[in-house]
Structure 1
Amino acid sequence: MLIYTHTLPGGAQLIGYLRDRTVEMPAFNTRPAILILPGGGYAWCSKREADPVAMQFLQAGYNVFTLYYTCRSDETVPALRWQPLIDAAGAILHIRRNAEQFGIDPAKIAICGFSAGGHLAASTAILWDAEPVQTALGIHGTEARPDAVVLGYPVITAGKYRHDGSLVNLCGDDADLRATMSLENQVRDGLPPFFVWHTVEDPSVPVQNSLMLAGALTAHKVPLELHLFAHDGHGTSTCTREVNTPNKHNSAWVALCTDWLAETFDFHL
């Protein structure tokens, strides 16, 4: 296995876990990839939503990347605005442009995010062609668009059910930018398929975030799988003892997701 590291132009760190090519398994020398975006309110990137998640998808046969995108850890500095999205879209672009080197199918790149990282993953799927992103990356096509989206307890709305910390760190008091980043209002036809899971009891990012997104995706006939679990809080990651949130029932999201991805990408071990 190759551990790959790369610093994107804005300073974000990309870490990849790439399976070795073999003569014994030639049918799997090219694999789908998944890019993981940990949560942390756009203030930091949670380690609990990084490697533990990456190992699950690596075990399922994917080449896996984790992006430590630009965050606002110091409240005295300006809001992040478009930089995290430029980081995430730039990571998709980098993976796709180097797909042959990485042993990746360039048409099978998924993005997976949790909490604020879920907002960023959804933003990448919905706003990949926004002018600030395309200008920063110097592109005009679909190179930065992911092919599938996985969201765990995502921040979605800037409205009533918003997560204040995430929106403040991302947008500050810019009302127009907040409106743009209220993703339930940006959904359109032709988006990649979504897999979304959330807990109904989430006290930090209300389940309405996922419900509002699901309603918008359904209205635009975007393929969607939505799972709501009755109990447990926020930031539960893989729902195991490793990440300090053991819940055997909720941990089923991992198997449900890998099954969904296998069907979405027609990738079966």
Structure 2
Amino acid sequence: MTFFTENITVQGITVPLRCYIPDLGGVPKYAGNRPAVIVFPGGGYGITYHGEAEPIALKYVADGICAFILDYSCAPVRFPIPQLEAFKAIRYVRENAERFGIDPHNIATTGFSAGGHLCSCTGTLWNKFQEYFEKEGMNDVDAHVYRPDKMILCYPVIRSYSKFAHMGSFINLLGEDRMSDSALLDFLSTDKQIDDETPPTFIWHTSEDGGVPPVNSYSFALALAERRIPCEVHVYLHGDHGLCLGSCVTGQFDYTTPHEVSEWIDKAIRFAYVKF
């Protein structure tokens, strides 16, 4: 595996994009045509949690997928900077696809909790961000350069409305002064922004999640289904918020008896290889 870090800069703020490129042994089927996944850790837009970063990336790498981790800006940095950083990360991977042996048409984003919200923004707002792209000088290419080919949402924050919203994430993203902007909150409720160009999506959650209720995932999945966009959904019966891999690596689980959710990563890896 080759590891290196690239810098992503938006409005004078620079964050690292950690890059994990698996070595090729022999002449595998996907040589020069591998999937890529960009990981957005969770943390309520207040931090990027390490347990939802490198342990996830290494799982993908072990199965031949090029993985990238974006340590995106968090509070007190506000919207739209994290979103622009995410879009720039997608562009970086796509524009360097040949160099890394990546299929430029099979680039996924993966996000956990608030990172799941950021992930959902990449798939639903890429064609609604023209104003922000123009201000940042990012409108020099077709907007499709910023579109992920699929999304993998892990117990994601989706709604900014109703009692099922995780308002702490939106306060960190917007700041208290913009929490009264109903139009902006509506724009950031990504279940309301799904259209015919939203990419296929993999979602998992637990029914007992008290931090970010599973209604967030249900509403996103329902909106995808209404548009007939391919969607794979897994809602596990047990488990609270933030289970990560559901193993001893990222949780208090015995090595021999991982949590029931631990199967999600293998399912997500298969999803990453599927071409739509």
User: Quick check: TM above 0.5?
Assistant: yes
Secondary structure of 1:154's aligned partner: coil
Match of residue 44 from structure 2: 41
State the identity as a percent: 35
Conservation of the 8 A alpha-carbon contact between 2:116 and 2:153: yes
User: TM-score scaled to structure 2, two decimals?
Assistant: 0.89
Secondary structure of 1:12's aligned partner: strand
CA distance in 2, matches of 1:133, 1:21: 38
- RMSD (Å), alpha carbons: 1.5
Give the aligned residue type for 2:159: T
Cα deviation, residue 189, structure 1 = 1.2
1:249 aligns with 2:260: yes
- CA shift digits 1:57-93 (9 cap, x unpaired): 1111101101000111xxxx4x611111101010000
CA distance in 2, matches of 1:141, 1:248: 40
Match of residue 6 from structure 1: 6
CA distance in 1, matches of 2:167, 2:65: 34
Conservation of the 8 A alpha-carbon contact between 1:42 and 1:166: yes
Conservation of the 8 A alpha-carbon contact between 2:244 and 2:251: no
CA distance in 2, matches of 1:251, 1:152: 12
CA distance in 1, matches of 2:41, 2:95: 23
Match of residue 171 from structure 2: 168
Match of residue 275 from structure 2: 265
CA distance in 1, matches of 2:142, 2:44: 30
Give the aligned residue type for 1:191: T
170-179 vs 186-195, which moves further: 170-179
Secondary structure of 2:144's aligned partner: coil
Which runs of 5 or more structure 2 residues have no equivalent in the other structure?
none
Conservation of the 8 A alpha-carbon contact between 2:22 and 2:62: no
Match of residue 96 from structure 2: 98
Give the aligned residue type for 2:5: T
**Given the superposition, is the C-alpha separation of residues 133 and 12 from structure 1 closer, same or farther in structure 2, using an over 3 Å criterion?**
farther
Any runs of at least 4 consecutive aligned residues in structure 1 with deviations exceeding 3 A, and if so which?
A: none
38-47 vs 12-21, which moves further: 12-21
Conservation of the 8 A alpha-carbon contact between 1:156 and 1:210: yes
Give the aligned residue type for 1:85: Q
Secondary structure of 2:199's aligned partner: coil
238-247 vs 32-41, which moves further: 238-247
Total equivalences in the alignment: 259
Conservation of the 8 A alpha-carbon contact between 1:171 and 1:177: no
CA distance in 2, matches of 1:144, 1:211: 25
Query: Where does 1:216-235 land on structure 2 (aligned, <5 Å)?
Result: 216-235=223-242
Conservation of the 8 A alpha-carbon contact between 1:20 and 1:29: no
1:206 aligns with 2:213: yes
Cα deviation, residue 203, structure 1 = 0.8
User: TM-score scaled to structure 1, two decimals?
Assistant: 0.92
Give the aligned residue type for 1:9: T
**Given the superposition, is the C-alpha separation of residues 255 and 26 from structure 1 closer, same or farther in structure 2, using an over 3 Å criterion?**
closer
Which runs of 5 or more structure 1 residues have no equivalent in the other structure?
none
